[in-house]
Structure 1
Amino acid sequence: MSHPSPGPGAQPLGDDKKISAVDHKDLKTAKTSESAVSSDLSGSEDNNFDSKDPFNTPENIAHWKEVYKNASYECRHVFDPTLTWTEEEEKKIIRKLDWRVCLWACVMFFALQVDRGNLAQAVADDLLPELGMNTNDYNQGNIVFLVSFLLAELPSQLVSKKIGPDRWIPMQIVLWSVVAISQCAITNKTGFLATRSLLGLLEGGFIPDIVLWLSYFYTSRELPIRLSYFWTALSVTSIVTSFLAFALLRLRGVNGWGGWRWLFLVEGLITLAIGIASFFLMPASAVQTKTWFRPKGWFTDRETAIVVNRVLRDDPSKGDMHNRQAITPRRLWEAMKDYDLWPLYAIGLIAYIPQNPPGTYLTLTLRSIKFDALTTNLLTIPASFFHIVTLLFLTRLSDRFNERTLISMLQPLWTLPCIIALRFWPGVIDDRWGTYALSTVLLSYPYCHAILVGWTSKNANNVGARTVSAALYNMTVQMGAVIANNIYFESDKPYYRDGNSKLLAINLLSIALFLGTKVYYIVRNKQKDKAWNKLSEEQKQEYVSTTKLQGSRRLDFRFAH
């Protein structure tokens, strides 16, 4: 299927590049045909109001042209509302983006998860007794990490927006890898807590930084699917590092070290290598892939234009800031007080708590029911594998039906019967294989995080708001993790009856939050419809051209749900 050729009537719209504004009727025909192609590729229409045709009049084109010029948007010279392309061209470009952008994002996330997730493998090798600590100290270390991670989220995003994620992310990875390597030399609780804090401070903000970078290349419908690959890397990391731990923990006694010291050293060096490579594999944007070590770049001139314009036609607001433009205090405050995103933050706070303690304590639980250290690390692999399968299935299901809330709610519905079983089943200690099977089913839950991150990004509807909202959402997730690390205690061992009762209540609250969010966005969209439909066509056009409102506050924006 091909897009129609642009019609006659070309007029210059700016001095950055001569862009043709076609006759309104011809332009609308071209854009409607293009939207049909987009709908065929994605499966269904997007929830964004008027998202099929954001440049449907010469006035709209002139408005956005001025916005991009005033923002010094780095891709403005290839903005072309009349550009057409074929379905095959688009598929080819998406494949190229997946191999060059999404794949490396997954590799960098692998580096993050190696250094923040290998503590669970280290404690299976007697790290706690060798440092004179117990499970309460383990909880404290996790809390210190999470609080540090949380505190660094928003500052990291502000730094990233100022200097660019293509510069800041590689710097982050290199810095935290040095701390990760230094863990091989810790000798007491103080050193343990210090390295936990430094890791949190340096890793905080990495995830929203990556999401911001990905949003430069993908449309809002494509982003959740790519984020599902991104979080698939979490489970892949767990599998890879479990095998790696199986080998490294066998080095116990070499150089007089425990196996966990070799684990921190080797995996930290792997992360360092990824951090160095990232300086060369993260272009700032689609128009900045050519450099001294990559003279031909990633795309032809036509491919570059397609990459930029398909993103802008999906969401014109992605060009209202330069990718090296800092967030002003006013933009920060406006984004923080956007109460229409608060339901998503509430979900982020609550939704991941029920799965967290069983996952964090999995290796300790398996050791307590008499599995040895090497077997314990291997037994974590099935849950990681099934977690990948259910994550990808859930995200694809959301994309297929263009439904976010009810599909995401499958996560707490999955975990509910498992937590009930953990709370009331008497064989937690006596039936070790039954306990293992129950834990594996619970931790194989369909992870809705990729959907929620893409959902938050879409409903922000503005680069500045998107930058801040990504950080705020992830901060609430980390706050939820802090809560989760205060649920299982030494005094509640070995059944954790009190802790599992709390998880059951939180799981039910999570289901209620999803349903409430669905109702909230339906009501808000109806309110906007009512206000918008009161305007005449002339008033609507004047609103689009003159309103100073940005993000989700605009009357011509509708919330996805």
Structure 2
Amino acid sequence: MTTSVSAAPEQPTPTTDNISRPVSLLSSVDKIRSSLPSDDLVDEEEEQFSWTTAIFRRKQIVHPDPDAIATKRAVFDDPDLAPHYWPKKDYENLHRFDPAARWTYGEERKALVRKLDWKIMLMAAGGFSALNLDRNNISQANSDSFLQDLGLTTDDFNLGNTVFRTTVTACLEANWPGSLDPNADLPLDHFSALQGGYIPDLILYLSYFYTKTELPVRLALFWMSMNFCAIIASFIAYGTLHMDGVAGAAGWRGLLTLLIGFLSFFRMPPSPTQTKTWFRPNGWFTEREEIIMVNRILRDDPTKGDMHNREGLTLRRLWTAMCDYDLWPIYIMYAFPLIFVRIGPHETQRPHVWYPEHSPINVSHFTTQGHRALGMVTMFLITIVSEFVNERSIVSMMEDLWTLPFLVALYALPSSPNPWIFFVVVTGLLSYPFVQIYVASDAPRCTKAYYIWRNRQRARIWDAMTTQERAHYLSTTKDVGNRRLDFRFAH
């Protein structure tokens, strides 16, 4: 991923000798106290990926010297504060943590991140695609004998879809099994068809491997691929629905998601340092690559060492999160997905209106997917516009602004409208730009304003402290997580 980070002063390529050994807390702090050189560290923050920069301002991107040191400065370089941010003793990657580690831009971006994309992101993309194939397949199955085979009525179907689109508790399933970690829970989501928690679990899993500036653009591509997956689903449905009765099975039944879930068990390692197994004896990464992965992630966010990857959600932690008023703006923002309730029925009932056997006009499966392609275009265009005007709050309202005139048109249509007019109106309605692809720094303005205020409020207190006062606070405070004075919300 190209960025506009300025090149650090040229440094000799670090050797394996100075970073390849596991270190203890005391020995590492001693290194820092003994004037460990830190003038080779990078102080500049890495800029967030921008589509407008990548497409229209490529010549303005400054590519760092691949041989320059890429290690970012962090709290681990302060001998007084470092002990308070040390990873927990049961952190699964502790044996690769070393604040003395140094690496180059070439090692990190051209080698390691590219390898992560092929090894980790590719499988994650496959799982996400399977999730969307399942979710989009419901409208295809609805055009077959799906309801009759399951003994459901149309009212049952609509009720199920309403619950699916309005509930938020399904996401709790992601981390509920306390003995499981995401690499096991994600494949089980596919096997069990309990996929409400798949997306938050996937984001948690990918955060083990990617920094805060690398992950958003990859997640954005996931969101933009939703419509593409829906188009692929229609092609698959066209073939499978014509196989109705083969081997005594209905055409809407399939095993693709089950197969991807099975492969995920073998292709999703628990962590950067746990890729070796009986069927992969050499693992995916060298010792040096593991050290770079672990230390760059912890320097980017030291709180990732506060837990190990098999800590599940508990009732006590759930209650703590529910009572955390600093998280209420996010809960409110995502608790009322009214746009999906309004659009959902048109999406899921689309086959009954447009398919040849239910319509006086000859519209094929492929024709009815036109809104998917248009949706990808509108989504990308609204993202470009939001970056050009540097405004997210108004742009994030585009779903409502886009759908309102089409909903009014549907309401104004007669009870037996011209099929082609109805086709055009519903296609326009379902081509809405799905704008929830903004990254953390692009959150809607009202929520963003709150977190800016909270960060400034804490910064006034934290910045006024001396180093000794900060160390005393960190060693005595009972605050945890985002309640600590040194925590800052991403907004």
TM-score w.r.t. the length of structure 2 is 0.79
**2:407 equivalent to 1:422:** yes
2: CA distance, partners of 1:255 / 1:515: 55
2: CA distance, partners of 1:121 / 1:331: 40
Aligned pair partner of 2:24 in 7, 15, 18? 15
1: CA distance, partners of 2:133 / 2:77: 47
2: CA distance, partners of 1:221 / 1:396: 18
2: CA distance, partners of 1:378 / 1:234: 16
2: CA distance, partners of 1:227 / 1:366: 30
1: CA distance, partners of 2:45 / 2:305: 23
Distance 1:163 1:80, change over 3 A: same
**2:276 equivalent to 1:284:** no
Partner of 1:61: 82
Aligned pair partner of 1:88 in 67, 91, 106? 106
Task: Give the CA deviation at 1:314.
Answer: 1.0
Structure 1 runs not aligned, ≥5 long: 45-50, 177-201, 457-512
Partner of 2:67: none
Partner of 1:323: 309
Aligned pair partner of 2:91 in 54, 57, 73? 73
One-letter amino acid of the structure 1 residue matched with residue 258 of structure 2: L
Task: Give the CA deviation at 1:256.
Answer: 7.9
One-letter amino acid of the structure 1 residue matched with residue 44 of structure 2: A
Partner of 2:3: none
1: CA distance, partners of 2:286 / 2:381: 34
One-letter amino acid of the structure 1 residue matched with residue 141 of structure 2: A
Query: What is the SS of the residue equivalent to 2:272?
Result: coil
Query: What is the SS of the residue equivalent to 2:392?
Result: helix
**2:480 equivalent to 1:550:** yes
Aligned pair partner of 1:175 in 185, 192, 195? 192
Q: Which has the higher relative contact order, 1 or 2, with Cα contacts under 8 A spaced 6 or more apart? A: 1
Percent identical pairs in the alignment equals 38
Query: What is the SS of the residue equivalent to 1:354?
Result: helix
Pick which of 279-288 and 365-374 moved more. Answer: 365-374
Q: Check whether the contact 1:105–1:210 (CA below 8 A) recurs between aligned residues.
A: yes
Q: Check whether the contact 1:13–1:62 (CA below 8 A) recurs between aligned residues.
A: no
**2:368 equivalent to 1:383:** no
Structure 2 runs not aligned, ≥5 long: 1-6, 54-60, 62-71
Partner of 2:172: 154
Task: Give the CA deviation at 1:550.
Answer: 2.1
TM-score w.r.t. the length of structure 1 is 0.70
Question: Quick check: which one's helix share is greater?
Answer: 1
**Aligned residue pairs, count:** 453
2: CA distance, partners of 1:346 / 1:338: 13
Query: What is the SS of the residue equivalent to 1:251?
Result: coil
Q: Check whether the contact 1:109–1:233 (CA below 8 A) recurs between aligned residues.
A: no
One-letter amino acid of the structure 1 residue matched with residue 448 of structure 2: K
Q: Check whether the contact 1:225–1:396 (CA below 8 A) recurs between aligned residues.
A: no
Distance 1:455 1:126, change over 3 A: farther
Matches within 5 A, 1:120-131: 120-125=139-144, 127-128=146-147
Partner of 1:164: 181
2: CA distance, partners of 1:84 / 1:345: 39
Deviations 1:207-253 (A, max 9, x none): 22212111111112222222223334432321111011122223356
One-letter amino acid of the structure 2 residue matched with residue 86 of structure 1: T
Distance 1:356 1:228, change over 3 A: farther
Query: What is the SS of the residue equivalent to 2:189?
Result: helix
Aligned pair partner of 2:299 in 313, 321, 324? 313
Aligned pair partner of 1:262 in 217, 241, 251? 251
Aligned pair partner of 1:271 in 257, 263, 267? 257
